[in-house]
Amino acid sequence: MRAFVLTGPGEGSVQEVPVPVAAPGDVVVEVERVGVCGTDVELFTGELSYLQTGHSSYPLRPGHEWCGRVTQVGDGVDPAWLGRRVMGDTMLGDRVCRPCRRGQQHVCEHRQEVGIRGDRPGALAEQLAVPAWSLKELPGTVDEVLGALVEPGGNAWRAAHAAEVGAGERALVLGPGTIGLLTALFLRASGAEVHLLGVTGESLAFARGLGFHSAWTRETLPDLPFDAVVDASTAAGSPALALDLVQPAGRLVCIGIAGTPSTVDTRTLLLKDVTAVGILSGSPGLDATIAAYAGGAVDPRPLVAATVGLDGVAAVLAGGRPEGAGPGPKVHVDPRAG
């Protein structure tokens, strides 16, 4: 079958690889749609920290935001999975350590991450093998585009949930990229007044097109009380800025990650009685995200700018925009498209 494989920093191509066979406990999925995200770009450029720590190494097949249809089940797997449309958790804990036994396998020290860490091939291929226990069934109202947006949506749902705001309250999201916009959509669905802070005119115009009319730059941001501030940016100074902007007794949520350490003055944190929360993974938010998409409370499909085949992945990872791409921040891949 065809798969996209990274062989070193800046080196990636479509290769012929063996078709996966479902091992005991696993399923094989025919992949319908895969999202390309910032982690994939860092795997391509060689900047991802896991490449330095040895958690990831080349050759490597990326792809962790995916959906598809189950075509094979291994020994011990309920055959009822066959034919079902599914997405899967990126985080695959060892299922024996203390965090795993507490239902927190996304922070398992020994975890694999599909398409990222621990030599677990990702979804940029015609077929993908994953453990059956990591699957989530997708209802009929969650199409392929939504299905591949469940994984990033799970991260964003958790960030919005951690902000703990609702009707009559105001939230600010720093960074109008995919995760920032998804978080803003979930915050809006919770009834909060949502503001976005960005850098480029293009990204802010796109946010306004989604109905976020309070989309500001640092220069135009109004002096308003924000009950929660979510940092979904990649700027090293953003966590400290978020702490400055949040109201006393408010919530500071960190889901963006910078290439260098971010410092915050914890005296400000405690003198303002602010609660700070870090979000690593979408795992605990996948079910809620599927429900929000299925019921129409949140529809992130406009975020997808273009859908390419496996042959188009290298150019996207190198920073190119597919021909005819819309203004959204997300590019999808359909491995059946060539």
CA neighbor of 75 nearest in space, from 14, 12, 24: 24
Print the SS3 string covering 71-116: EEECCCCCHHHCCCEEEECCEECCCCCHHHHCCCHHHCCCCEECCC
Strand residues in 291-329 grouped as ranges (E)? 304-308
Q: How far apart are CA 192 and CA 186, in angstroms?
A: 9
Q: Which residues from 106-125 bind Zn ion, rule CB under 5 A?
A: 108
Q: How far apart are CA 128 and CA 280, in angstroms?
A: 24
Q: Please identify the residue of the shown chain whose CB is closest to the bound Zn ion.
A: 108
Closest approach, Cβ 25 to Zn ion, in A, equals 16
Q: Taken in order 38, 44, 49, 53, is the CA torsion positive or negative?
A: positive
The piece of 37-45, 97-105, 163-171, 283-291 that touches Zn ion (CB under 5 A) is 97-105
Site string for Zn ion, 43-82 (x = CB under 5 A): ----------------------------------------
Q: Taken in order 157, 159, 163, 167, is the CA torsion positive or negative?
A: negative
Q: Pick between residue 2 and residue 110 the one whose CB is nearest to Zn ion.
A: 110
Q: Pick between residue 98 and residue 267 the one whose CB is nearest to Zn ion.
A: 98
The piece of 105-113, 138-146, 219-227, 252-260 that touches Zn ion (CB under 5 A) is 105-113
Q: Pick between residue 238 and residue 283 the one whose CB is nearest to Zn ion.
A: 283
Q: Pick between residue 59 and residue 99 the one whose CB is nearest to Zn ion.
A: 99
Q: How far apart are CA 110 and CA 92, in angstroms?
A: 9
Closest approach, Cβ 113 to Zn ion, in A, equals 13
CA neighbor of 326 nearest in space, from 292, 303, 294: 303
Strand residues in 132-263 grouped as ranges (E)? 135-137, 170-174, 193-197, 215-216, 226-231, 246-254
By CB under 5 A, residue 100 contacts Zn ion = yes
By CB under 5 A, residue 131 contacts Zn ion = no
Closest approach, Cβ 26 to Zn ion, in A, equals 18
Q: Taken in order 34, 35, 39, 44, is the CA torsion positive or negative?
A: positive
By CB under 5 A, residue 97 contacts Zn ion = yes
Number of residues in contact with Zn ion, rule: CB under 5 A? Answer: 5
Q: Pick between residue 61 and residue 117 the one whose CB is nearest to Zn ion.
A: 117
Closest approach, Cβ 56 to Zn ion, in A, equals 18
Positions in the binding site for Zn ion (CB under 5 A): 93-94, 97, 100, 108
